[in-house]
Structure 1
């Protein structure tokens, strides 16, 4: 896989996971493992009679995040993620949160980069008179499989809907969703060995955070080790395969 294609894939997986897990975490009152907060948003909004609105926000994060991870519907998910991302950034700035706006700014930048990767397919949105539109999008050329990504979205949606009533069910369906997304990713047949290892490690990192309630301290070892190895192997892969 070309370097730009592989990095774009990692960005989609990362962004999709961040927002899908954040939504599942909110719907389970902070029990589902995730990387960004606030995990108790629904309870906080309930004090102002906005509990249903909080659930809507959380479920929207789940659906959009899963779409971004699906590859099949990633372009649509990335477009929908822009207003979500920018709104979160503006909230953190207006609330004068320390450090958080910088993290959110990085997520916005990654969102924009992932869309620019599909510029040839999306440029008609900004340049309506253009005559050259690439179809299908690059991501759909690389990952044409319909079922695994769609199945992952379905599992994620089901987990989100059950979040209010059963954390174990949400944990189970959320995990199945992430596994389905990675099965879909591995349907691509032309990875370098290093790329397969990097993807496997990223999946291990996701599952270690997902099961933080059970792994506890071990989660930090798995997560830290996986991230460190991914970073090192990415550098090695980038320098070995310069294309």
Structure 2
């Protein structure tokens, strides 16, 4: 536990956690809106495609209607909570069962190398929960450990960046059906980089006075 407490004061690790939350949350928000809109996530399976295929699986969920939209709402809420930073722990707790379910689906069907991506997302989510283990200890009947304020991760600039990323991602997917993933990702990288520069400018006077 002492090692975890030391890690949580490391600036590089704090930034890695912040941007991991953005990446995971943004991915879920991006994938959620199409479901909420009641649209298909994949193409309609062809007449000759095998029944035990990803296309048939997603088509079955899509035809359920309400369940398909419920999945979208769950992904949207989990992604939003992660991107707020302030409620990131709640977001990670909601994110875990969803991404675990998606991972099992990708290894159960012929998704190519998609299971590598979903597996990495699952591991990243577990890492976020380990990061906040001092607050999660209560679930195993251990007292919550209060930590000194983390100057980097608790800065308000990250909440603003998260809100901008969420609004852009959700708005982009809501307004267009034919998306350009490179455009979306490029804008997100730009917003994230601008947030980092803003933090550095605002944080520098604090560093110079210590």
Q: Would you call these one fold, judging by a TM-score over 0.5?
A: yes
Confirm or deny that 1:133 pairs with 2:145.
yes
What's 1:142 paired with? Answer: 154
Matching of residues 7-156 of structure 1 within 5 Å: 7-28=16-37, 29=39, 38=42, 44-45=59-60, 48=63, 50-125=64-139, 127-128=140-141, 130-134=142-146, 142-144=154-156, 148=160, 155=167
* Counterparts of 1:60 and 1:137, CA distance in 2: 31
What is the RMSD computed on CA atoms of the aligned residues? 4.1
Matching of residues 200-219 of structure 1 within 5 Å: none
Deviations 1:66-118 (A, max 9, x none): 11111111111011000001000111122242211121111000111112111
Q: Is the 8 A contact 2:30 2:170 kept in 1?
A: no
Q: Is the 8 A contact 2:83 2:166 kept in 1?
A: no
SS of the residue corresponding to residue 203 of structure 2 reads coil
* Counterparts of 1:137 and 1:87, CA distance in 2: 34
Distance 1:147-1:78 versus aligned 2 partners, 3 A rule = closer
Q: Is the 8 A contact 2:103 2:115 kept in 1?
A: yes
Distance 1:46-1:12 versus aligned 2 partners, 3 A rule = closer
4+ runs deviating over 6 angstroms: 183-187
* Counterparts of 2:158 and 2:23, CA distance in 1: 20
* Counterparts of 1:136 and 1:75, CA distance in 2: 17
What's 2:52 paired with? Answer: none
Q: What is the aligned residue count?
A: 172
* Counterparts of 2:67 and 2:135, CA distance in 1: 34
Q: Which has the larger radius of gyration?
A: 2
What's 2:48 paired with? Answer: none
Deviation, 1:136, is 8.9
Distance 1:94-1:139 versus aligned 2 partners, 3 A rule = farther
Structure 1 residue runs without a partner (length 5+): 31-36, 169-173, 192-243
Q: Is the 8 A contact 1:118 1:138 kept in 2?
A: no
What's 1:33 paired with? Answer: none
